[in-house]
Amino acid sequence: SQKIEQNSEALNIQEGKTATLTCNYTNYSPAYLQWYRQDPGRGPVFLLLIRENEKEKRKERLKVTFDTTLKQSLFHITASQPADSATYLCALPTGGGNKLTFGTGTQLKVEL
Amino acid sequence: EPEVTQTPSHQVTQMGQEVILRCVPISNHLYFYWYRQILGQKVEFLVSFYNNEISEKSEIFDDQFSVERPDGSNFTLKIRSTKLEDSAMYFCASRPTSGGMGTQYFGPGTRLTVL
């Protein structure tokens, strides 16, 4: 069956450093992959989408890579700030692309 | 910037009671979704809705659940007879008809507590 895995352990980093989060998937070949941010008690907020034919995508301090051979996406936040502290979710289109299947998310904490 | 809105933000109900969760999707979107997230767990798909009918539903979405678009703006999720295990955050989402390759925009959620 299809599986999406993200590091379940929280990631603690110092302000100014680069945070790198991992999303691995199995038994699936998605046409694209998305990253969302979720704050406690709030809904997911869309950050970035990367297509299967794109190796890398950037938006301000965010960078996403997509390796369809390894079945992995990496999500980077450069020059991290305490305001970046949140849970980051990886999501893939499934069921013909009509719905999203989410990973469990990785909690990021940026410390001063 | 247009947003998906949901009401109420928090709903407390007794087991066996009916609840209706309400959503106002972004106005020019035509695909609508409900997801839920049990505390500490991942966001799970419940149902998708397009052209006034359900296009897909998960195994969670059994006969106790229904969705409706009663007018041009609201999208509702009804749970007929709530169970303790229905306690969760329920998120509504919407998507434009074209472009965005399936990017879904989520509302802030309704926290449902079943006692």
Instruction: Tell me whether residues B42 and A100 touch, CB distance under 8 A.
Output: no
pLDDT of res. B98: 61
- The answer to whether the Cβ–Cβ distance between B56 and A95 falls below 8 Å is yes
d(Cα A40, Cα A26) in Å, to the nearest integer? 28
Average pLDDT over residues A72-101: 92
Chain A's closest residue to B57, CA to CA, is A99
**Confidence check: pLDDT of B101 > 80:** no
Q: What pLDDT was estimated at residue B99?
A: 56
Query: Closest to A43 (Cβ–Cβ): which among B31, B103, B108?
Result: B108
Q: What pLDDT score does A87 carry?
A: 97
pLDDT for res B100: 55
- Average pLDDT of chain A? 93
Q: Which amino acid is at B19?
A: V
- B106 interaction partners in chain A (CB closer than 8 Å): 36, 43-46
A6 Cα to chain B: minimum distance (Å): 11
Reference A47, options A55, A39, B44; nearest CA is A39
Decide if pLDDT at B88 tops 80: yes
Each residue of B45-85: pLDDT tens digit? 999 998 889 999 999 999 999 999 988 789 999 999 999 99
**pLDDT band at residue A2 under the 50/70/90 scheme:** confident
pLDDT of residue A57: 96
Q: With a CB-CB cutoff of 8 Å, which residues 89-108 of chain B face chain A?
A: 89, 91, 93, 100-108
- What average pLDDT does the segment B93-112 reach? 85
Which residues of chain A does B111 touch, with a Cβ-Cβ cutoff of 8 Å? Answer: 41
Res A97: pLDDT: 66
Which of A42, A54, A99 is best to mutate for the B interface (most B CBs within 10 A)?
A: A99
Burial B60-86 (b: 16+ CB within 10 A, else e): bbeeebebebeeeeebebebeebeeeb
Distance from CA of A46 to the nearest CA of B (A): 7
- Between residues 20 and 59 of chain B, which touch chain A (CB distance below 8 Å)? 31, 33, 41-45, 48, 55-56
Confidence class for position B38, pLDDT limits 50, 70, 90: very high
CA distance B77 to B22: 7
The radius of gyration of chain B from alpha carbons, rounded to an integer in Å, stands at 13
Distance CA(A67)–CA(A59), nearest Å, equals 18
In whole angstroms, give the CA distance from residue B35 to residue B24.
Answer: 15
Predicted pLDDT of residue A94: 85
- Residue B101, C-beta contacts closer than 8 angstroms, at least 6 positions apart: A31, A32, A49, A51
Q: Which amino acid is at A61?
A: R
pLDDT tens sequence across A54-86: 989 999 999 999 999 999 999 999 999 999 999
Instruction: Tell me what pLDDT residue B47 has.
Output: 96
**What whole-number distance in Å separates Cα of residue A48 and Cα of residue A90?**
10
* Mean pLDDT calculated for residue range A21-47: 94
